[in-house]
Amino acid sequence: MIRVILRKLGSTAVVVVVVAVIVFLLIHLSPGDPAAIIAGDRATSADIEHIRQSLGLDQPLIVQFGLWVGRLLHGDLGISLFSRMPVGTLVAARIEPTLSLAIATMLFAVVTALPLGILAAWQVGRWIDRAIMVLAIVAFSFPIFIIGYGLVWGFALHWRLLPVQGYASIANGFWPYLLHLILPAVSLGLVFMALLTRMTRSTMIEVLGEDYIRTARAKGLGQLAILLRHALKNAAVPIVTTIGSGIALLIGGVVVTESVFSIPGIGRLTIDAVTQRDYPVIQGVILISSFAYVLVNFMIDLSYRLFDPRIQG
Amino acid sequence: MSGAAAAPTGFAFSRRRRRFRFVSRHLTILVGGTLLTLLIALSLAAPLITPYDPVALDVIHRLRPPNAQHWFGTDNYGRDILSRTLYGGRISLFVGISAALASGLIGTTIGLFAGMFRWADAISMRITDGLMAIPSILLAVAMMTLVRPGVLIVIIAITIPEVPRVARLVRSVVLVIREQTYVQAAASIGTRLPRLLLHHILPNALTPIIVQATYVCASAVLLEAYLGFLGVGIPPEIPSWGNIISDGRTYVQLAIWIVLFPGAFLGLMVMSINMLGDGVRDLLDQRLANRF
Amino acid sequence: MPEPTAPPALEIDNLTTCFDTQDGVAVAVDGMSYSVRSRETVGIVGESGCGKSVTALSALRLIPTPPGRIAGGRVLLEGRDLLQLGEADMRQVRGNAISMIFQDPMTSLNPVLTIGQQIAEIGMLHQGLSRKSALDRAAEMLRVVHIPDQRRRLEEYPHQLSGGMRQRVMIAIALTCSPKVLIADEPTTALDVTIQAQILDLLVELQESTGTAIVMITHDLGVVSEMAQRVVVMYAGQKIEEAPVGALFEAPLHPYTCGLLAASPRFAEERNEAGHRRPLAEISGTVPPLTNPLPGCRFAPRCPLAEEHCRRAPPPLVERRPGHWAACWHAGEMPPVPHA
């Protein structure tokens, strides 16, 4: 068991290294002079040189990489060009809203997608299956900001049920916290829900065609027992894998959602950094989110053994 | 001895019934295809049918709701939303198709090599794993921060995050096809590698690649809109859907139509591309199922 | 031996099952009838696609109803027509009064549930047992099917067992509620020959002690000769011959049955003058498509005895000898085939 975990940890580490290399190379692959572009059109050559030095671009590639990795291992993600604060500090200050949004979105998506997918698979070919499939296609075809503005217009402006935008910290009360999270979580979650519904449906359809389901029916088991006790556990592995790979979508979508709803989280931080061309912040955010993604998928990989006793590791 | 075998009812085989069954079975591909054709036609015909110049300012008539002169209303500069929406379609289509083609070609090449050669597989799979760990929007945004904006750059920034998915798909398809007896038979009579790849393997891999390419196209159109929305997409002078919506953000409460119409068109276009992809995939599955 | 005057445990009467396919309506089972009594084993033989499995699945109403449809007939379980029951009542019959075991024990057992869970759930469902009692019963059933070390096995998963053991588990599941009828659909086809014999012996032994009626569906004539008292031969969805097992092998009436017997290889055959074995006979041609049933005898295109009126008029099922029925205009006219 330990050996299995270590082996997986090893391949995860390789991915982490690859991510670090890609992120590092990004700035160097840009055609033209990255320092000049970051400095902006109105910069003087002194400004450009200053930027070049603070980003360490004036040194040989290998040295840069070495220094950069060294700093990373110490938890130093760089210094913001704009605010001169460590990127790590900036991120940590904004982690509560983003994490809340991410978890709320995840809960919403999973809690709605699983029953819908199971229902669609059970009633495959009938009108309810088609309706669910159409709903899913619409949900992941419309961009998050359209869904978001639509929901805001309806629930916040028109019916005045929910706040238009903003974030309320949990320290100030649970109810406002929840209300402020509903619309953003639904806007972001609908996309994720659609993908998960489709995946659940197709996996369940496959599982329901297996011989052991026929055996279960021949035993006289009712439909619910067959779906939940016999079929779902077999469908778990692909479904959970989809949840894992959906994290990347979630992280990307958080940026857009925080912009739409003016939530002061890491996404907003990124957008401000983009406007200011504050590259170290962008780089830091990419590193953190990629590592988070890799970590979550590592844990999901370990969890497979809970669902399928045949999997050794 | 022969029991009352249920005779096929005349109704089941009447032509109307057969047509109905054809349509209902192929509904996604028909609806998706029709909608997409309509949207493409509208976009391509934009210069001919739009009443106004999409970038012409008309500050007197700013922020007008939809009316007889401006079917989709005007924005804060008085620009006609209908014209801008239709022109925006051209940009989005161009970006989407280019990105789909580019990532399709690059991804297929990588996938073919990865499927055939173990060394290529080891290297490319680690790299794609790493690339897929970085959220597409963030990667594209980071790239756009480092370059001067332009349509070509946007296409590149959108293509790169999509390549890993195509490469993985092609690789897994190639791995399966390699083991098929007809490939092994061809190899055993001494067929050279390039011919093996182009003549035997690639044609059979084509349909899943095309299905994936449609999904990439839909994804690319969305990504362009997100980049525009965040302010790092196509240069703001060009009316892309992302730019129009980005401009209209501040007026959501006052003038929802600025965001509504391009948004609706965007959603419909992405939806129709996705439905087309689904429909082609279902068609492929049906063909496979009928073969057995 | 079956009790001679008892009513049949299961009687299938003129059953017809159709499937709506893209190419039209396929009649998979056409007016099929057979019955089986307590302590009796009836063998249903025929090649793949002749409808033997579909008949059994129809009796349990396990045919998927969008493409499939039971178009006529009755299925009588101790006099009660199962086709008239509501779905809830039918669920009470499945696994309880009638059990079914299937061909491939690896795919027929759920890979993510333990053996214990899969056996116990049927006891909990039909006999209202508590979880503990159901597991005790499960251990008891494992003992009955001669699986040692029962308590440990209950905790294991299907992939940890051998093929023969898995089929024993399937039998244990099927017999937990002491069903009146056990339908065995090719239970030994996926197993090694030695294991095959063990499973068949087990079934015979269990039939002796519980009195269950067994319907043995198979394409293997060897299995039939060992286990069945009566045999029903199916072709293209229809019953074409029915006889006591001895009579079927000694003096088959239908040309198709003769063909089946002739096509089985035998070990102890003598070589002819030139030193060669008799070449394996085959029945040329293929089964006709089920969507366009022929007007006359369905076997006519492949039959060496076929004449014009065979192709025009379907032959009725006639009792040619006591207890021996055949549907053929030329029943009994095939030259005898040498067999061991």
Look at C121 and A212 and tell me if their CB atoms are within 8 Å.
Answer: no
Look at B275 and A137 and tell me if their CB atoms are within 8 Å.
Answer: yes
Nearest CA distance, A215 vs chain C (angstrom): 6
Separation CA A179–CA B28 (nearest Å): 37
- Residue C279: per-residue pLDDT: 66
Burial C277-302, CB ≥16 within 10 A → b, else e? eeeeeebeeebbebeebeebbbbbbb
- A227 three-state secondary structure: helix
Residue B88: CB atoms within 10 A of its CB come to: 30
pLDDT for residue A10 is more than 80: yes
Touching check for C95 and chain A: CB below 8 Å? yes
Residue B33: CB atoms within 10 A of its CB come to: 16
- Residue B197: per-residue pLDDT: 72
- Residue C54: per-residue pLDDT: 92
pLDDT for residue C268 is more than 70: no
Q: Report percent pLDDT > 90 for chain C.
A: 51
SS (H, E, C) chain B: CCCCCCCCCCHHHCHHHHHHHHHHHCHHHHHHHHHHHHHHHHHHCHHHHCCCCCCCCCHHHCCCCCCCCCCCCECCCCCEHHHHHHHHHHHHHHHHHHHHHHHHHHHHHHHHHHHHCHHHHHHHHHHHHHHHHCCHHHHHHHHHHCCCCCHHHHHHHHHHHHHHHHHHHHHHHHHHHHCCHHHHHHHHCCCCHHHHHHHHHHHHHHHHHHHHHHHHHHHHHHHHHHHHHCCCCCCCCCCCHHHHHHHHHHHCCCCCHHHHHHHHHHHHHHHHHHHHHHHHHHHHHHHHHHHC
CA-nearest of B203, B123, B219, B204 to B165 is: B219
Q: Report percent pLDDT > 90 for chain B.
A: 16
Pick C269 or A51 by higher pLDDT. Answer: A51
The mean of the pLDDT values for chain A is 86
Touching check for C186 and chain A: CB below 8 Å? no
CB-based contacts of A233, cutoff 8 Å, min separation 6: A307, C112, C113
A69: left (phi over 0), alpha (psi -120 to 50) or beta: alpha
Touching check for B68 and chain C: CB below 8 Å? no
Distance, CA of B37 to chain centre? 13
What residues in A contact B263, CB-CB < 8 Å? 142-143, 145-146, 149
Look at B1 and C71 and tell me if their CB atoms are within 8 Å.
Answer: no
pLDDT tens-digit series, residues B135-189: 999 999 888 888 888 888 889 999 999 999 999 999 988 888 888 877 788 878 8
Touching check for B289 and chain C: CB below 8 Å? no
- Residue C265: per-residue pLDDT: 66
Handedness of CA B119, B120, B125, B127 (dihedral sign): positive
CA-nearest of C261, C182, C247, C255 to C219 is: C261
Only one residue has tokens 């006639």, namely C318
Task: Summarize the confidence of residues C136-157 as an average pLDDT.
Answer: 93
Point out the residues of chain B with pLDDT beneath 70. 1-15, 17-18, 21, 25, 286-292
Query: Taking a C-beta distance cutoff of 8 angstroms, is the pair A33, A42 a contact?
Result: no
Q: Which of B2, B7, B12 sits opposite C314 (nearest CB)?
A: B2
**One-letter identity of residue A196:** L
Nearest CA distance, A167 vs chain C (angstrom): 43
Separation CA A112–CA C195 (nearest Å): 48
Look at A137 and B271 and tell me if their CB atoms are within 8 Å.
Answer: yes
Pick A39 or B210 by higher pLDDT. Answer: B210
- Residue B14: per-residue pLDDT: 62
- Report CA dihedral (C127, C132, C136, C142) to the nearest 10 degrees: 80
Task: Summarize the confidence of residues C27-43 as an average pLDDT.
Answer: 92
- Residue B206: per-residue pLDDT: 84
- Residue A136: per-residue pLDDT: 93
pLDDT-derived band at C5 (thresholds 50, 70, 90) equals low
Touching check for B189 and chain C: CB below 8 Å? no
Separation CA B61–CA B55 (nearest Å): 14
- Residue B10: per-residue pLDDT: 46
- Residue C239: per-residue pLDDT: 92
| Nearest-by-CA chain A residue for C95 | A219
Chains in contact with B, where contact means 3 or more Cβ–Cβ distances below 8 Å, are A, C
What residues in B contact C296, CB-CB < 8 Å? none
Query: Taking a C-beta distance cutoff of 8 angstroms, is the pair C31, C15 a contact?
Result: yes
C90, C110, C173, best to mutate vs chain A, most A CBs in 10 Å: C110
Nearest CA distance, C157 vs chain A (angstrom): 8
pLDDT for residue A271 is more than 60: yes
Touching check for A190 and chain B: CB below 8 Å? no
**One-letter identity of residue A101:** L
Separation CA B247–CA B231 (nearest Å): 9
Touching check for A87 and chain B: CB below 8 Å? no
pLDDT-derived band at A121 (thresholds 50, 70, 90) equals very high
Separation CA A70–CA A91 (nearest Å): 20
What residues in C contact A307, CB-CB < 8 Å? 112
Look at A274 and B256 and tell me if their CB atoms are within 8 Å.
Answer: no
Handedness of CA A239, A240, A243, A244 (dihedral sign): negative
- Residue B9: per-residue pLDDT: 47
State both tokens at A180.
């402020």
pLDDT tens-digit series, residues A221-251: 999 999 999 999 999 988 999 898 888 889 9
Between CA A69 and CA B218, with CA B138 as vertex, the angle to 5 degrees is 145
State both tokens at C158.
């299907």
- Residue B97: per-residue pLDDT: 92
pLDDT tens-digit series, residues C62-97: 998 888 889 889 999 988 899 999 999 999 999 999
Touching check for C67 and chain A: CB below 8 Å? no
Strands C10-21 and C24-36: antiparallel
- Residue B4: per-residue pLDDT: 38
| Nearest-by-CA chain B residue for A26 | B143
| Nearest-by-CA chain C residue for B3 | C31
pLDDT for residue C284 is more than 90: no
pLDDT tens-digit series, residues C197-239: 899 999 999 999 999 999 999 988 889 988 999 999 999 889 9
- Residue C98: per-residue pLDDT: 94
pLDDT for residue C277 is more than 80: no
| Nearest-by-CA chain A residue for B249 | A260
Chains in contact with C, where contact means 3 or more Cβ–Cβ distances below 8 Å, are A, B
pLDDT-derived band at A312 (thresholds 50, 70, 90) equals low
- Residue A174: per-residue pLDDT: 83
Say how many CA atoms lie within 13 Å of B191 toward its Cβ. 16
Separation CA A255–CA B232 (nearest Å): 13
Look at B8 and C31 and tell me if their CB atoms are within 8 Å.
Answer: no
Touching check for B5 and chain C: CB below 8 Å? yes
State both tokens at A12.
């995860």
Look at B256 and A153 and tell me if their CB atoms are within 8 Å.
Answer: yes
Look at A221 and C92 and tell me if their CB atoms are within 8 Å.
Answer: no
Task: Summarize the confidence of residues C3-14 as an average pLDDT.
Answer: 80
Residue C217: CB atoms within 10 A of its CB come to: 26
State both tokens at A206.
């496959």
A22, A51, A137, best to mutate vs chain B, most B CBs in 10 Å: A137
pLDDT tens-digit series, residues C185-198: 999 888 888 888 89
How many residue pairs bridge chain B and chain C with CB atoms within 8 Å of each other? 47
- Residue B291: per-residue pLDDT: 44
What residues in A contact B148, CB-CB < 8 Å? 32, 37
Separation CA B289–CA C2 (nearest Å): 45
What residues in A contact C170, CB-CB < 8 Å? 215
pLDDT-derived band at A217 (thresholds 50, 70, 90) equals very high
- Residue B11: per-residue pLDDT: 43
Nearest CA distance, A254 vs chain B (angstrom): 10
Task: Summarize the confidence of residues A142-150 as an average pLDDT.
Answer: 90
pTM of the model: 0.85
Query: DSSP letters of A162-226?
Result: S-SS----GGG-HHHHHHHHHHHHHHHHHHHHHHHHHHHHHHHHHHHTSHHHHHHHHTT--HHHI
